[in-house]
Structure 1
């Protein structure tokens, strides 16, 4: 079920929009779902394309995302990992 969910570009777009919600709780929960899209080693091309198209904006956004959570080591580790993963994204090799 999770693999199917993270293969759908509409779900990725929804999570990216929810990261910008007014509610910090919704932002935080959306972050946890968004990280599964990014961490997936077998991203379908449509997912990879969206992440690549928004690469710079995502890096900038995540760098400033919930910076007040300095005590939350796990969150900060995950955020740093996501930023690293997004920076290292490359277009899929054409088959």
Structure 2
């Protein structure tokens, strides 16, 4: 993912995407056409892009595991429904 943050939550999202999750690169604020071309080329065919695609697939697999029945996100949503929505009945 190519990130070029400007306002609001974009800098935070960029930080997570580029530094925490390792699935993107940040475009410099003083952007030049050649730099964007190099970044896109690296993401599309370079080793760094290949590693990012592998990392993305790992995160996708984890998200699928967590949201299927029995996963932590599934269980937390079920708990929320039981405690908040069904408590008033």
TM-score by length of 2: 0.31
Specify which structure has the higher proportion of strand: 2
Q: Which gives a bigger RCO, structure 1 or 2 (Cα 8 Å, sep 6+)?
A: 1
Structure ID, larger Rg: 2
TM-score for both structures, normalised by structure 1: 0.29
